[in-house]
Amino acid sequence: MLMTALYIAFALISVALLLNVIGLARGPSIPDRVLSLDTLYINSIALIIVYGIAEASTIHFEAALLIAMLGFVSTAALCKYMVRGDIIE
């Protein structure tokens, strides 16, 4: 039963990633694209976590933690660049 739930979750998260790519390509303004990228990295963390449950290993969670940190820093840097025109003043 758990494997069935995991396969359903894989399918749902993959569709979500596809929708994020559509939003990234379409988004009319730059903040829209940054928001799509932000959602894209969060959804990729979700995919890695579901894969980690399916493989019953703990190695994948290190990668998920790294992606979470780098993703937040990149979103913050992009926002700062758009507001101030510079990242480190």
Partner 1 sequence: MSAQLPTLLELLLSALIIFGAALVLIGSIGLVKLPDFFTRLHAPTKATTLGMGSLLIASLIFTSYVTGDLSVQQLLITLFLFITAPIAAHMLAKTALHLRIQTVESTANSELQKAARERTAPQTSAETAEPGQ
For partner 1, the binding residues (CB under 8 A) are: 1-6, 8-9, 12-13, 15-17, 19-20, 22-23, 26, 29-32, 34-36, 38-39, 42-43, 45-46, 49-50, 52-54, 56, 58, 61-62, 64-65, 68-69, 72, 75-76, 79-80, 82-83
Q: Rounded CA gap, 61 and 43, in Å?
A: 14
Least distance to partner 1 from the beta carbon of 45, Å?
A: 7
Q: Tell me how far CA of residue 55 lies from CA of 13, 29, 43, 45, 72, in angstroms.
A: 17, 39, 18, 15, 27
Least distance to partner 1 from the beta carbon of 59, Å?
A: 10
Q: Rounded CA gap, 62 and 77, in Å?
A: 23
Q: Rounded CA gap, 59 and 82, in Å?
A: 36
Least distance to partner 1 from the beta carbon of 28, Å?
A: 8
